[in-house]
Structure 1
Amino acid sequence: MITFDQYERQAWAGQAGAFAAGFAKLCAYSVPQLLDGAGVGEGTRVLDIGTGTGTVAAAACARGARVTAVDAEPSMVELAALNVPAARVQLGLLPDLPFADGEFEAITGNFVLNHVGQPARALAELRRLLRPGGRLALTIWPNPPAPGQALLGRAVEAVGLTRPAHLPPVAAEDDFPRTAEGLTELLTTAGLNEVHCESLHWDHRTTPDEWWTGPAAGVAYIGQLLLSQPESTRTEVRQHFDRLAEEFRTPNGDLLLPHTALLATAIR
């Protein structure tokens, strides 16, 4: 069986365009709070990990920060470099990043811990890269998820699909509770100080087709699960998705999906 990290590399290979068209818009909501939590301002030396299409990096550059952005997926690096020419964008895979001890004054990671197989090792590496007094800000998706985040999963469950063996979870000994308490303990155990965790709540506006397109292209776990099914099963999941989506439909036909994220900040 492949490891969780190997699965993540396969799942996200070549997916920058599909991610940008859908889920990247969802993830953009937390960016201002993330940068505030990391203390990002004029001249701050910032490392943005798991930059994706570069949304956090672009916002940090707009604040006048000196930004380095990394992602483990080449298509994301390519797109982020186009989107954020003011940043230094390069490949980088946690928990081993090619930077010196204490090189950065701030580190941001928008939902990156959800895609890391060894969260504790990843945090130890981020602590190494922070200068003393430097600030770290991270977001994760919690478990249980908010109603809007659970929509796709409910459609999959309605068909009776379960996690196939070729999609490995995070190893039990490396995982942590995806709660405020679990995230706080993870950062504290990593040797970070003044750890604070709060919940962010928002309604994400999208359309049924936009929300479906990313998974249909194979984006993230739900997408990989769908691609492993025959076409008839994918069609059945889509039918359940359309039915369940009616709970969130607005008068103009859009979807308004309630979401929740956890934002943790800490200081080295």
Structure 2
Amino acid sequence: MTAFDASERLIWAGRGAAYARSYARLCAHPVPRLLDAARVGPDARVLDVGTGPGTVAAAACARGAKVTAVDAEPTMVELAARAAPTADVRLAVLPELPFTDGEFDAVVANFVLNHVGRPRIALAELRRVLRPNGRIALTIWAAPPAPGQTLLGRAIQAAGAARPPQLPDGLAPEDDFSRDESGLTGLMTAAGLREAACETLRWDHHTDAAEWWAGPAAGVASGGRLVQSQTPRMRAEIKRHFDLLGAEFTDEHGRLALPHAALLARARR
């Protein structure tokens, strides 16, 4: 386990319900296209890796697929089991999945590679459990990020908040890759997948300031952990800048319209 992996375990420990109340709706946006990319349909044996609160698993079950879903965080597994009661939901951690070689027709991973310390090794493990000619589809956040994705980071910077030393800066250089279409395609090819292709998805996420602040306020994701590590005075200062900067994205109804961009990649074994 890398330092990045260990940090991710701490960041997400016990955060299932807080994530479901905040960022889960954002991350649900690509799910239909993700399942289409993996050709998920009736009776397909599907593995949903990093299922979170079970959004992808539930959608795959609704298509008639035979779904297995895993997550590294117990509170996410509990939520997923309720969201997708017909799925086989388990606790499991990449890159050591408890499945035999070639067990699944399709593997999907919605915003999962963002959270592993060795993405190529994780992808190779997903390839291992995929049958020959089976399909894999995944999403990650694009870089540079779209303007709506930078709101919290800008508020943290404007407030002058210090980054806690226990929060890693990112992946080791030898494990990282460019978060663009060519970079993700190259990573999939390096993991032994074929016919890799990638596209960029862009959309505005409509929410209100209270819902959007609920995630970092509860310590969700790395930004939330950074917010929670601050003094009460600094947290209030971050929130003040968050509200000020949020005015840039406020629509005529007083809600936020936050531009986001993600990469959707697909390949075959």
TM-score under structure 1 length normalisation = 0.98
Corresponding residue number in structure 2 for 1:209: 210
Q: CA RMSD in A?
A: 0.9
Preserved CA contact (<8 Å) 2:161 2:234: no
Q: Residue 155 of structure 1 aligns to which amino acid in structure 2?
A: A
Give the Å deviation of 1:251: 1.5
Q: Structure 1 CA distance, aligned partners of 2:235 and 2:139?
A: 31
Asked if 1:74 corresponds to 2:77, the answer is: no
User: Which SS does the other structure have where 2:30 is aligned?
Assistant: helix
User: Which SS does the other structure have where 1:138 is aligned?
Assistant: strand
| Distance change >3 Å, CA 194–CA 162, structure 1 → 2 | farther
Alignment of 1:170-189 (within 5 A): 170-189=171-190
User: Which SS does the other structure have where 1:198 is aligned?
Assistant: strand
Q: Residue 203 of structure 2 aligns to which amino acid in structure 1?
A: W
Corresponding residue number in structure 1 for 2:111: 111
Q: Which stretches of structure 1, 4 residues or more, deviate above 6 A after TM superposition?
A: none
Q: Residue 237 of structure 1 aligns to which amino acid in structure 2?
A: I
Corresponding residue number in structure 2 for 1:65: 65
Corresponding residue number in structure 1 for 2:261: 260
Asked if 1:11 corresponds to 2:20, the answer is: no
User: Which SS does the other structure have where 1:265 is aligned?
Assistant: strand
Corresponding residue number in structure 2 for 1:234: 235
Q: Structure 1 CA distance, aligned partners of 2:121 and 2:107?
A: 16
After superposition, the C-alpha distances for 1:61-111 in whole angstroms (9 at most, x for unaligned) are 000000000000000001110111010000010000000000000000000
Q: Structure 2 CA distance, aligned partners of 1:196 and 1:161?
A: 39
Q: Which one is further off, 40-49 or 154-163?
A: 154-163
Give the Å deviation of 1:163: 3.3
User: Which SS does the other structure have where 2:133 is aligned?
Assistant: strand
Corresponding residue number in structure 2 for 1:194: 195
User: Which SS does the other structure have where 1:178 is aligned?
Assistant: coil
Asked if 1:130 corresponds to 2:130, the answer is: yes
Q: Residue 239 of structure 2 aligns to which amino acid in structure 1?
A: R
Corresponding residue number in structure 1 for 2:88: 88
Corresponding residue number in structure 2 for 1:166: 166
Asked if 1:150 corresponds to 2:150, the answer is: yes
Corresponding residue number in structure 1 for 2:50: 50
Q: Structure 1 CA distance, aligned partners of 2:132 and 2:33?
A: 22
Give the Å deviation of 1:37: 0.4
Q: Structure 1 CA distance, aligned partners of 2:196 and 2:161?
A: 38
Q: Residue 166 of structure 1 aligns to which amino acid in structure 2?
A: Q
Q: Which runs of 5+ in 2 are unaligned?
A: none
User: Which SS does the other structure have where 1:64 is aligned?
Assistant: coil
Give the Å deviation of 1:161: 3.1
Q: Structure 1 CA distance, aligned partners of 2:230 and 2:164?
A: 10
Give the Å deviation of 1:171: 1.6
Q: Structure 1 CA distance, aligned partners of 2:188 and 2:221?
A: 25
Preserved CA contact (<8 Å) 2:199 2:265: yes
After superposition, the C-alpha distances for 1:93-149 in whole angstroms (9 at most, x for unaligned) are 000000000000000000000000110110110110100000000000011100111
Corresponding residue number in structure 2 for 1:26: 26
User: Which SS does the other structure have where 2:145 is aligned?
Assistant: coil
Q: Structure 2 CA distance, aligned partners of 1:159 and 1:55?
A: 34
User: Which SS does the other structure have where 2:147 is aligned?
Assistant: coil
Q: Which one is further off, 211-220 or 176-185?
A: 176-185
Give the Å deviation of 1:162: 4.7
Q: Which one is further off, 104-113 or 2-11?
A: 2-11
Preserved CA contact (<8 Å) 2:205 2:260: yes
User: Which SS does the other structure have where 2:29 is aligned?
Assistant: helix
Give the Å deviation of 1:252: 1.5
Corresponding residue number in structure 2 for 1:40: 40
Preserved CA contact (<8 Å) 2:57 2:87: yes
Preserved CA contact (<8 Å) 2:109 2:139: yes
Q: Which runs of 5+ in 1 are unaligned?
A: none
Q: Residue 194 of structure 1 aligns to which amino acid in structure 2?
A: E
Q: Residue 182 of structure 1 aligns to which amino acid in structure 2?
A: G
Q: Residue 83 of structure 1 aligns to which amino acid in structure 2?
A: A
Preserved CA contact (<8 Å) 2:28 2:55: yes
Preserved CA contact (<8 Å) 2:161 2:230: no
User: Which SS does the other structure have where 1:18 is aligned?
Assistant: helix
Q: Structure 2 CA distance, aligned partners of 1:251 and 1:198?
A: 31
Q: Structure 2 CA distance, aligned partners of 1:219 and 1:22?
A: 9
